[in-house]
A and B are shown apart, each in its own frame.
Chain A
Amino acid sequence: MTRLARHRLLPYLLLLPGTAWLLLFFGVPLAQLAAASLYDPTGSLSTGYAMTWALGNYPDVVQAYWPQLSRSFGYAGLALALALLLGYPLAYAIARKAGRWKNLLLVCVVAPMFTSFLVRTLAWKTILSDSGALVGLLRDVHLLAPDGRLLATPFAVVLGLTYNFLPFLVLPLYASLERLDHRLLEAASDLYASPVQAFRRVTLPLSRPGLVAGTLLFFIPASGDYVNAELLGTPNEYMIGNVIDSAFLVRLDYPQGAALSFLLMAVILAVVFGCLRRAGTEEVW
């Protein structure tokens, strides 16, 4: 083999393990899921499922589970808004104002992730418990009716989502804020920009890559989540993840479950591409 040929081949050889892995463990199952979403919806375990290209599965599931679909994106959106309100100042403070506490604070943001997602969500169940201190306090100050509750409400679900996915938003934001060149802010103030103006014209635009990456990392798992709705909510708060779970495991309606999974993926992909096109890929990754 000539040196040139080897040079040409090398990148492909390097790509081979990763590509094979992706094809085998992502491509194949995905194709299978796509096929399942087009199976005859009247099929069953004992009679088997026939491939009938039943595109009707898609409008059917949208019609049947419209409330859960819209709720998923609604709750994820609300949680995202809350997380931005909490996360941006937090990331800003850690990146620019924390000084020697920076590493410790970062560890604090990440530390909860060392315990399981499930355990953390269960912990919120205890915190928000009807007989817990928090609810007791809120009742005493009349922020909550005497028989009011926090657990098993939309509030609890959105709170759970916000809490569980906050680090995914904070870390990329931190990374881009940390890289921000301080001299630009000095220049802005030399040019008579007020702190607010400097933030709007310099800090915010320069932190946009982190904002976009964080938003995506937050929104994607949050909209597909079903644990928070299951543990902190009631049937009236169930999201699309709960429906997919029950379609596959309880109702054994594989075509419907697969169609919903694909739909969810499609919507999320559309959101991702929308975001990336506006922000430009190079800036984000």
Chain B
Amino acid sequence: MDETDESRRPSLDEFVSRSGIQVSYTEDINDNNEFFGRVRNQLAACQSIDRDIIVLSDWMAARMIRLGWVQKLDRAKIPNVRANLLPSLLTRSYDTENRISIPWQCGLAGLAYNGNVTKELRTVDELLTRPDLKGRVTALSEMRDTMGLLLASNGHDPANFTAAQFDDALNKLRKAVDSGQIRRFTGNDYAPDLAKGDIAACIGWSGDVIQLSSADAKVRFVAPDSGAMLYSDDMLVPNKAAHRGNAEALINYYYEPAVAAKLAAYVNYICPVRGAQAEMEKLDPELAANPLIFPDEALLSRSTMFMALDEQQERQYEAKFQQVIGA
């Protein structure tokens, strides 16, 4: 990816010239659910979706694995993944062997605020109850991120909770919606509103917020002490993909620390590749020290991934959550 020219992607170009494999890169996944709706029928009917590799969020990757719609990869073809995947990502419950769903970039869901229009914000409870924020708060419509943060703020573990604990957290959210504290539930679209100050604080994603911070230092991301949610966007090879070997070559390429560092310098997400930090020192020492790209132990230890849900649970929890967020 290149900031000055949208059509140029240096890291991908290098892959093409090095391997001789032609890559056609399309940005056609705007939203996990929308994309799922688009390819569901083909994949369920065991047809090809004409893509060799796709990148989806962890929970959607888990669903695809559960439905058996993606392929296991050949470990021998992706040695870099085994060697360089961050230790904290090695034990993802939906892919314990790390050979179906390989993290592309990671990020945190946490709090964000605009220091131009409000004072510092540190906890989820402040976000949900502070009177000066009333009606100027948004939360994510992604259940796992919003509910995970609320569960953690109640002292429960988002990676391992009971239905009763979920209901507790949901009640907390419902109160904030009913009182008018929370104005809206959003996807990525909270970012411009936060930058403008229409919303003063929100639940948001680290990558978006870092990008806003670089334009206006008063927009800050906060990983609350009670815990932040770690998510990953994963590379997957769908069933019937025509060129699995090429997809594996691409995955392996992006797990070279030097390549990963180059990419991380552009995308500002947490880099899942060990060794990239050392490479980044050479490129840009300032970014190498950024904990939201290369998180330190303290931050990692209070970031968790949301519990893996089976279909029944997913539907139940999602239905309850959707009731509260109004749809």
Residues on A facing B (Cβ under 8 Å): 44-46, 68, 129-131, 147, 149, 151-152, 233-238, 242-243, 245-246, 248-253
B196 touches A249 (CB 8 A): no
A250 touches B67 (CB 8 A): no
With contacts A44-B312, A152-B135, A234-B183 taken as known, whether A249 is within 8 angstroms of B67 at the C-beta atoms is: no
CA distance A252 to B67 in the complex (A): 14
Verify if B120 is at the interface (C-beta below 8 Å from A).
no
CA distance A44 to B318 in the complex (A): 14
**Total count of chain B residues near the partner, CB < 8 A:** 30
On chain A, the residues within 8 Å of B9 by CB distance are none
A130 touches B177 (CB 8 A): no
* The one of B34, B66, B177, B322 that contacts A46, using a Cβ cutoff of 8 Å: B66
Give min CB distance, B30 to chain A, whole Å.
12
CA distance A44 to B34 in the complex (A): 18
With contacts A243-B327, A249-B37, A251-B318 taken as known, whether A235 is within 8 angstroms of B177 at the C-beta atoms is: yes
On chain A, the residues within 8 Å of B324 by CB distance are 235
A234 touches B184 (CB 8 A): yes
B319 touches A45 (CB 8 A): no
On chain B, the residues within 8 Å of A129 by CB distance are 196, 198
B327 touches A246 (CB 8 A): yes
On chain B, the residues within 8 Å of A253 by CB distance are 315, 319
A152 touches B196 (CB 8 A): no
Give min CB distance, A121 to chain B, whole Å.
12
Instruction: Please provide the chain B residues from 97 to 119 with a CB less than 8 Å away from any CB of chain A in the complex.
Output: none
B66 touches A152 (CB 8 A): no
Verify if B275 is at the interface (C-beta below 8 Å from A).
no
On chain B, the residues within 8 Å of A243 by CB distance are 327
On chain A, the residues within 8 Å of B182 by CB distance are 234-235
Main secondary structure of the interface of B (DSSP, over half): helix
With contacts A149-B135, A235-B327 taken as known, whether A246 is within 8 angstroms of B198 at the C-beta atoms is: no
Verify if B168 is at the interface (C-beta below 8 Å from A).
no
A236 touches B326 (CB 8 A): yes
A245 touches B198 (CB 8 A): no
Given contacts A68-B326, A245-B327, 19 further A-B pairs with CB under 8 A are A45-B40, A46-B67, A129-B196, A130-B197, A131-B198, A149-B135, A152-B184, A234-B184, A235-B324, A235-B326, A238-B327, A242-B327, A246-B322, A246-B327, A249-B31, A249-B33, A249-B37, A250-B318, A252-B318
Look across to chain A and name the residue whose beta carbon is closest to the beta carbon of B131. A147
CA distance A251 to B327 in the complex (A): 10
| Number of A-B pairs, beta carbon distance below 8 Å | 69
CA distance A246 to B177 in the complex (A): 18
Verify if B307 is at the interface (C-beta below 8 Å from A).
no
Give min CB distance, B199 to chain A, whole Å.
8
16 contacts between A and B (CB under 8 A): A44-B312, A45-B311, A147-B134, A147-B135, A152-B135, A237-B326, A238-B326, A246-B322, A248-B37, A249-B31, A250-B318, A251-B315, A251-B318, A251-B319, A252-B315, A253-B319
On chain B, the residues within 8 Å of A152 by CB distance are 135, 183-184
On chain A, the residues within 8 Å of B242 by CB distance are none
Verify if B308 is at the interface (C-beta below 8 Å from A).
no
Verify if B325 is at the interface (C-beta below 8 Å from A).
yes
On chain B, the residues within 8 Å of A237 by CB distance are 326
CA distance A248 to B40 in the complex (A): 12
B67 touches A235 (CB 8 A): no
Verify if B15 is at the interface (C-beta below 8 Å from A).
no
CA distance A62 to B291 in the complex (A): 49
Give min CB distance, B151 to chain A, whole Å.
19
CA distance A234 to B182 in the complex (A): 8
Look across to chain A and name the residue whose beta carbon is closest to the beta carbon of B31. A249
On chain B, the residues within 8 Å of A250 by CB distance are 33, 318, 322, 327
CA distance A201 to B311 in the complex (A): 63
Give min CB distance, B171 to chain A, whole Å.
16
CA distance A2 to B103 in the complex (A): 72
CA distance A244 to B60 in the complex (A): 20
Verify if B185 is at the interface (C-beta below 8 Å from A).
yes
On chain A, the residues within 8 Å of B37 by CB distance are 248-249
A235 touches B325 (CB 8 A): yes
On chain A, the residues within 8 Å of B311 by CB distance are 44-46
On chain A, the residues within 8 Å of B183 by CB distance are 152, 234
On chain A, the residues within 8 Å of B135 by CB distance are 147, 149, 152
On chain B, the residues within 8 Å of A44 by CB distance are 311-312, 315
Give min CB distance, B308 to chain A, whole Å.
15
CA distance A224 to B170 in the complex (A): 29
On chain A, the residues within 8 Å of B319 by CB distance are 251, 253
On chain A, the residues within 8 Å of B44 by CB distance are 45
CA distance A237 to B183 in the complex (A): 11
CA distance A84 to B36 in the complex (A): 41
With contacts A152-B135, A235-B177 taken as known, whether A131 is within 8 angstroms of B197 at the C-beta atoms is: yes
B318 touches A235 (CB 8 A): no
Interface centre among A131, A152, A237 (most CB of B within 10 A): A152
On chain B, the residues within 8 Å of A236 by CB distance are 177, 326
On chain B, the residues within 8 Å of A234 by CB distance are 182-184, 326
CA distance A130 to B31 in the complex (A): 28
CA distance A249 to B40 in the complex (A): 11
On chain B, the residues within 8 Å of A68 by CB distance are 326-327
CA distance A129 to B195 in the complex (A): 12
* The one of B34, B136, B315 that contacts A249, using a Cβ cutoff of 8 Å: B34
On chain A, the residues within 8 Å of B318 by CB distance are 250-252
Give min CB distance, B5 to chain A, whole Å.
24
Interface centre among A235, A238, A251 (most CB of B within 10 A): A235
Q: Which 8 A-B pairs have the closest CB atoms?
A: A235-B326, A246-B327, A249-B33, A238-B326, A130-B198, A242-B327, A152-B183, A235-B325
